[in-house]
Each structure stands twice: as structure tokens, then as C-alpha cells.
Chains A and B, each alone.
Chain A
Amino acid sequence: MNNLKAFLEDLYLLQDLDLLLDQVKDPQYLETFGFTVSDDKIKTLEEKRNDLAKKLRAINPRWYQIYERLRRRYKRGIARVIDDICTNCFVQLPASMTGQNPDELQTCPSCGIILIWID
């Protein structure tokens, strides 16, 4: 895949937007903390999210579909690797997975989440 790093950066931006949207639509969150969020602003954020999703789908439909499938399952599609451990399922990765492959996205052999290494 060309420019995998840029794709990955957009993918975790998409995840940040998805997590933020999940949060601000959660009635418990709004009620407990008394924060106010206007519907118009949520709509604007959703449009931004959908534009980004469209861009990622156009670049690599397969990986975008994997992200969406993982989102439905885990509420997130990507997870960091910290100390050789997947932070989604907390399983130690095989010794062969030593860092970001510059040519291909990698998934956790245990839970399937898309893995990212950030130093």
C-alpha cells in the first residue's frame, strides 16, 4: 500500500472521532457531568467523520471494512502495542512481530485488532 503511514494516521484520527462521538451521544456522560453539546456541532463532527471514512474507503476498501467490523465488535478498530502486548486483548505478541511493517497493516493474532506501534 502506498503511504501506509498517512493511511494509519488517518485511521487513528477516525477512531478518535468515533470514540468522541460515542462519548458525547452517551446520555450517562452528559447527565453525570452536566456538559452541554449542541446537536448542530455533533452533526458537523459526524460529517467530518464521514468525509474521512469516505477517503479511507477510497484508498483501501479492505482495510476500511476491517476497521468497521472491528469497531462493531470492540467499539474500536485499532490498538497500540506497548511492550509487545496488544492493548486490546492484552495478549503478548509473537516475537516475529517486532514493529510497524512499512508495507502492510498488521493485526493481532489473538483478537484481530489493527495494531499500531507509536514510540
Chain B
Amino acid sequence: MIEKLLREDRIILDLKAKDKEGVLREMISVLNLPKDKEDLLFNSLMQREKLGSTGIGKGIAIPHCRSVAVDNITLVIGISKNGVDFESLDGKPVHLLFMLVATPMDPSMQYLTALGNIARIARGLASEESLRTDFSSPKEVIEYLLKFNNE
């Protein structure tokens, strides 16, 4: 499942934004949506964040929502070398973000399955001594993440 969602053109190797709102905007921008859809998606993601941060600790965050703004389930990966204040559970900056967006209609439970895959990868990453952020290409990121999914 997750293999199909990991796309090289949806990986940002060095996020420029420094705060939660800026990072979400930057990650949404790679989807090349019209402005009104971008705003819809941003508002849905922020609405979810207001209920409790999706920064799960160990430098990882999984912002996610369902939204009419997308046609298919969509994953964007963002890497922040300097770290972003995401109001994480452990209070530490976030360096790796998995932004998952699904359509309101999800007949085959893809959304929960994908979230499950991401949670598994995140657990694997959290068990590492330190979180890697020095990737030279999106392909390298995909290979690195899939290693944890297949463990």
C-alpha cells in the first residue's frame, strides 16, 4: 500500500518553513492544487491539529485529514533539517513529516491502512539512535522509509 503512495515528486528534502502553518502550506504546495482547494486542505489539516498535535514525538509528525480537495489518497513527505515546532507530544522539534490526505469517500479503507503503514515506519524510525535527514535524493528517502515498512 505505502509503496504506491511514495512518489519522488511528493518528497521535499529540505523544508524552508519554520512553523507548523508554514510547513503545512509548503507541503500542500507540491500538490499543485488551485488556491481554493489549497485553502480547503490547509483548513482541514489545521482543524485536525487543533484537536491535538499529530507530532508523535522523536522528531516525527503525521498531519492527516480527509478532504474534498484531493481526487485520490495522497502522501507528501517533508524533511526539515533544522526542525519545526509542531507542538509535539515530547516537545521536541519535528524533522520528518508524513502528510496524508484522503478523499471523504474511502471504500477500501485505504486511509486507515496507509496510516497504519506510516505508524509502523514511524515506530521503526523512532527505534533508531537518531533520525536521518541527510538525503541526497527523493529516491533515497523512499528506499530508507520502505526498509522500516518491510521490517
Asked if A76 contacts B52 (CB within 8 A), the reply is no
Which residues from A are CB-within-8-Å of B62? Answer: 33
Contacts A41-B51, A79-B104 given: A32-B115 contact, CB under 8 Å? yes
Complex: how many Å from CA A68 to CA B127? 45
Known: A41-B51, A87-B103. A19 touches B89 (CB 8 A): no
Interface size on A, residues (CB 8 A): 31
State how many residues of chain B have any CB contact under 8 Å with chain A.
28
Q: Bound complex: CA of A38 vs CA of B52, how far in Å?
A: 7
Interface centre among A37, A41, A80, A88 (most CB of B within 10 A): A80
Given the interface contacts A15-B104, A33-B119, A34-B119, does A118 sit within 8 Å of B50 by beta carbon? no
Which 3 A-B pairs give the minimum distances between C-beta atoms? A37-B52, A19-B66, A37-B51
- List residues of A whose CB falls within 8 A of some B CB: 12-13, 15-17, 19-20, 23-24, 28-29, 32-38, 41-42, 45, 76, 78-80, 82, 87-88, 116, 118-119
Q: Please name 30 pairs of A and B residues whose Cβ atoms are closer than 8 Å in the assembled complex, sorted by A.
A: A12-B40, A15-B68, A15-B104, A16-B67, A16-B104, A19-B104, A20-B48, A20-B51, A20-B66, A28-B112, A29-B115, A32-B116, A33-B115, A33-B116, A33-B119, A34-B56, A34-B119, A35-B52, A35-B54, A37-B51, A38-B51, A41-B50, A41-B51, A45-B50, A78-B104, A80-B68, A88-B105, A116-B68, A118-B36, A119-B34
